[in-house]
Structure 1
């Protein structure tokens, strides 16, 4: 068997979806970790639910589609779609059970110790019970719409991710043996009302909206007896399939597909474990859902509500992570930011370095009279984005402003369509990228006239231009006025907005034609160096590694003796510890307070280390079907800082899980003499020290200015005039 075939052997790979479930297990571990503040553990449980929902709506839905059309191709691990679907359905079922065990056996009892409780109406006193009955009569009754399912009225359409209540009824006076089992359903209006309702007279006792409805729902079925109520939820296939080849107007096509997507096939049915077999069967028949896609849960449906619980709990700040202030260098916070960047490249490490520097870069460009043009790619932005406002201001100030808005960004399509239309109304030139490709790169180009020359200023990053997620996603960004990078960036925008095929790029690399080839070339270089006895290593940090060809190149590097260190937060189809294949590969995963999102690619390069940052993960979609950007960090001090960031994370022994040879992940064993290192908290502490030192220096400067004499008595020019002469 050839070397290439040996590396491609399915036994050398982990199934992508099963690997993702292991990642979500690590998130769920954080909910069970008593070292985390209690309300943060509650939040981790909610995150694990949100993650699982999106995974079902996209990945499981894709597998189901492949099975439906009869596709039987195998993944890198040698599994067909139906084999994957069966395997992940069982594994997801185990994870759901663990979620609810975490809720009922761990978190709710721990919350109760602080008298934070989710109650049932049976737990209330008469006054409180009357309050909720009045709440139902006054607020809920007028809004609720029960929908019968019988011979004359078909089963109603259920919106994706909606919580519903199934009701089984009978007609009084009918003979017992002839009683018809009547059925109705109604949607819980949690889009109109808060799902968590405070209990009057208490600080932190709550009732769920659906429990109030179920208690008094009989008032909606006068003349009938309610025999059973049960909560359920459906998740639909939410993958957006836009046929761009036949689409003259991409914006309108995306809008149409958004409406169509809401009616996708049901991919998952969640039901209360107490639901009767009769109602369960009726729902499965009506929704066309098999048993293996039906999940019975022992607790409230849809645990994402726990993140709302965190927000409404009062008087327990110690149960959450302490707040911290991100650092901003004085030169980036004040004065002319272009002078600062021109003097030296600036590296930003979010959220420890504030995202305000990026916002200020764009805001100052919008107002600077010497700025001629701003060009920017936007993948995900916040609902009230200061960057969008700055682009609009720049257009009003007469600058040439171009924004590429990726309207196909998953689950942000509607938001991005809105902002695309708003930007056009503001006078911004909006483009939608290349046909068939998502534009995922994070790039801003500012063109400025300085005397007789034109200078280009860039911001390039690993994360989105989103001022909200920048508070809890870890990302890296570079501000530079490097001439060659500026020329490359201009060519990138020419490719995106028009017809341009530059022969080469000076320093930047883009996918789909560039990043894969560049990484493979660098890996090959490390292999050659190792075989020649020269210094060789590969250090990658990414969110996911699921591209089989890249994995095979890393296996080749390992076999050649190259030490390969990988920090991968999520999916990894790569397997460590395989004899003669991956013995020199070690893989760490960090799951903690912040979502690790930065992408770092480093090579020993025979002792002259090279450091690159990128928007791209090591996934086939990023390397083949997206416009991504990879860029170098060249300033020696900034290169060292990136290396230090990687090394700090590599040496983390608190939030790191290390992939074992059997594919499992285990935390670092600190028993003995090992000092605890939580990389994220160490960065928080370093930022706090910088903020403190900055404040101290500012106070000292203010004091110096306060006591500075207005005039120098020994200066002849300021000597008082002698009026007697």
Structure 2
């Protein structure tokens, strides 16, 4: 494996977490010392920032740059809903815990506030001063109220009266109308009023929740415009006609705001009925404690302070923004504007030659195992395998784990079809897949109605493994066909996330997967597994033992990990020891990384890079050089405590030489990336790789697109 020595350039030295002191050089470095670890929350924030920076990367099409800005908003929403909310809960109930980085929750919250304010300020600067002007040049306009022509103003008035007024519910604030309980992340307006209403009330204030059923961005008809694509915000229409909501009163001001609430679910481990308990908790998610208040920056100070008091928040939790408070909704531009020249060119995921001419997936897999890399290679073979299994009279049973599948899933339909045809079908559905809980509850009901046996895994251990097991009778004996993956059974995600799918009929792997399903659906002691590593039982220990084996090879040791995140202290310490022993280590970590690389005497042989591009990097790969005879595993598990110690996860071996070479080549491509990769420095900052003078640009995702996909449509 080789790493390209690309020149690095820091994209911005502003708005980044404060550098952390580098540990001293020495042979007796304490691996437990807090200075050897980065804080996970601040590391997560830096990943979000790298996503935001894509909005300035002109190698991405313009509308996709806008979408990156929206993805940053969505990521920040979840960060506050879950991570910030968790820290606040610790302090509220006096349960503060200190991680390996040594930071107290209050210290972390203070640093999050400092960094997040800088990032969000920069986001609005990018929107207002870069993206909107560039969209204007492309004849795509966000038409402000002051810019409406008489014809546009008349159209907006009609839209307000016909679409908004019938469904909006303004709420005056007085003793009989207390401050309303507003839904998490909903768009709202605080209105300053003068005068008395029909009942003689003189409250001075009202709240207007924007109807959730209405789009936040509306396209103006071409016949009231002078060409181009013209879009208007719902907030602008409500602002313009707020006086119609309060007839006879003077609207002195109307200001948008949005409250982010704690959206994490807390379920006890000793539940009698997980599904019933989860249904009850889902409603509370919409009305958890407030954690962040976003307000238009022209809102008067007394109104801002009023809102902070109502939500029990402080200045640290306040974000005053110059623009819409719900930027995520700008994602709609992609569907409202027909400009394929401003979006990524389409591509056709390829079908490997091995199955292209085969009518039967079973015949193809029997010939040799199949490894697919989505989205470059099509997800359809996985769906086809299940469809064929549902109709095949020789198939007796199908078992599958489901974490996220999507509302309209062909996989779910195939499972239901198989059950209706009399096959034994079992689905292990993880109800607690974050923000997919309601969808999974509905999914469970649909499958049960079709005759599928539905179980919810093990309370206290999320079932995150991706497994399909198909039992088929062939020539008088039973053969097991298996799919194992690094991602979810979600066809939409398979077009956006990079993930491996592995299809095999290897007897040992089939037996292992069968035993894992027995553990998930039944009860009993952990069964002996031959080839797979599985959490929470063997994966953590095996991962560390393989790291230690490479450490024992000294300078001949070679480790490459590709994770979404690395936080687990014991794995990090094992990597430190391997580096100290001379092993060469490359970590491709998309998001959170608590390991501090490139510290002399501690981690000088460890390099960490993050790949950010068109697709969300999601593959998990463990590569161990093994003195020239590499051991390669793909996995559903990241290098986090929750994955390795408190979830049901699998890591599966890639054993065929051609497939090992294939995965190795993919890893080499990532390690050679000199423009979509960001390198983690020993002080905690990230530098983006740039090609050296005269060097060809190498963007790993574009290389894989060219190598694996069909030509653009």
TM-score by length of 1: 0.92
1:59 to 83, 104, 108: 83
2:138 corresponds to 1:138: no
2:263 corresponds to 1:229: no
Q: Secondary structure of 1:7's partner? A: coil
Q: Which residue of 1 is the match for residue 146 of structure 2?
A: 122
Q: Which residue of 1 is the match for residue 342 of structure 2?
A: 319
* Match runs of 1:376-415 below 5 Å: 376-415=400-439
2:207 corresponds to 1:207: no
The gaps in structure 2 that reach 5 residues or longer are 1-23
In the alignment, the residues of structure 1 paired with residue 287 and residue 684 of structure 2 have an alpha-carbon distance, to the nearest angstrom, of: 38
Q: Secondary structure of 1:185's partner? A: strand
Q: Which residue of 2 is the match for residue 188 of structure 1?
A: 210
Contact 1:196 / 1:309 at 8 angstroms: preserved in 2?
no
Q: Secondary structure of 2:241's partner? A: helix
In the alignment, the residues of structure 2 paired with residue 353 and residue 139 of structure 1 have an alpha-carbon distance, to the nearest angstrom, of: 44
Q: Secondary structure of 1:381's partner? A: coil
The gaps in structure 1 that reach 5 residues or longer are 174-178, 696-725
**Cα pair distance change 1:493/1:677, threshold 3 Å:** same
Q: Secondary structure of 1:238's partner? A: coil
**Cα pair distance change 1:585/1:83, threshold 3 Å:** same
1:666 to 687, 693, 698: 687
Deviation of residue 671 (structure 1)? 2.7
Deviation of residue 172 (structure 1)? 6.4
Q: Which residue of 1 is the match for residue 6 of structure 2?
A: none
2:631 corresponds to 1:610: yes
In the alignment, the residues of structure 2 paired with residue 502 and residue 370 of structure 1 have an alpha-carbon distance, to the nearest angstrom, of: 30
Deviation of residue 500 (structure 1)? 3.1
2:45 corresponds to 1:21: yes
Q: Which residue of 2 is the match for residue 716 of structure 1?
A: none
Q: Which residue of 1 is the match for residue 15 of structure 2?
A: none
Q: Which residue of 1 is the match for residue 618 of structure 2?
A: 597
Q: Which residue of 1 is the match for residue 355 of structure 2?
A: 332
Deviation of residue 552 (structure 1)? 0.9
Moved more, 392-401 or 145-154: 145-154
Contact 2:376 / 2:704 at 8 angstroms: preserved in 1?
yes
1:346 to 357, 364, 370: 370
Quick one: higher RCO (CA 8 Å, sep 6+), 1 or 2?
2
Deviation of residue 191 (structure 1)? 2.6
Contact 1:526 / 1:557 at 8 angstroms: preserved in 2?
yes
Deviation of residue 195 (structure 1)? 3.0
Q: Secondary structure of 2:692's partner? A: coil
In the alignment, the residues of structure 2 paired with residue 250 and residue 4 of structure 1 have an alpha-carbon distance, to the nearest angstrom, of: 49
In the alignment, the residues of structure 1 paired with residue 475 and residue 239 of structure 2 have an alpha-carbon distance, to the nearest angstrom, of: 73
In the alignment, the residues of structure 1 paired with residue 477 and residue 196 of structure 2 have an alpha-carbon distance, to the nearest angstrom, of: 89
Moved more, 655-664 or 560-569: 655-664
Moved more, 537-546 or 67-76: 67-76
Deviation per residue, 1:283-302 (Å, 9 max, x gap) = 11112121111110011111
Deviation per residue, 1:150-189 (Å, 9 max, x gap) = 122211110011000110101169xxxxx96611011111
2:622 corresponds to 1:622: no
Moved more, 66-75 or 481-490: 66-75
Q: Secondary structure of 1:304's partner? A: helix
**Cα pair distance change 1:349/1:211, threshold 3 Å:** same
Q: Which runs of 4+ in 1 moved over 2 A?
A: 1-5, 190-203, 329-334, 500-503
In the alignment, the residues of structure 2 paired with residue 238 and residue 571 of structure 1 have an alpha-carbon distance, to the nearest angstrom, of: 21
1:8 to 17, 32, 53: 32
2:669 to 625, 629, 648: 648
1:367 to 391, 397, 402: 391
Contact 1:460 / 1:478 at 8 angstroms: preserved in 2?
yes
Deviation per residue, 1:686-717 (Å, 9 max, x gap) = 2345x69xx9xxxxxxxxxxxxxxxxxxxxxx
Contact 1:196 / 1:308 at 8 angstroms: preserved in 2?
no
1:421 to 426, 429, 445: 445
Contact 2:173 / 2:203 at 8 angstroms: preserved in 1?
no
Contact 1:47 / 1:304 at 8 angstroms: preserved in 2?
yes
| RMSD of Structure 2 on Structure 1 (CA) | 1.9
Contact 1:42 / 1:310 at 8 angstroms: preserved in 2?
no
Q: Which residue of 2 is the match for residue 708 of structure 1?
A: none
Contact 1:563 / 1:585 at 8 angstroms: preserved in 2?
yes
Deviation per residue, 1:205-252 (Å, 9 max, x gap) = 11100110111110111121111100000111000111131x111111
Deviation of residue 482 (structure 1)? 0.4
In the alignment, the residues of structure 2 paired with residue 59 and residue 172 of structure 1 have an alpha-carbon distance, to the nearest angstrom, of: 44
Which protein is bigger by CA-based radius of gyration? 1
Deviation per residue, 1:85-131 (Å, 9 max, x gap) = 11111111111101101101110111010111111122011111111
Q: Which residue of 1 is the match for residue 301 of structure 2?
A: 277
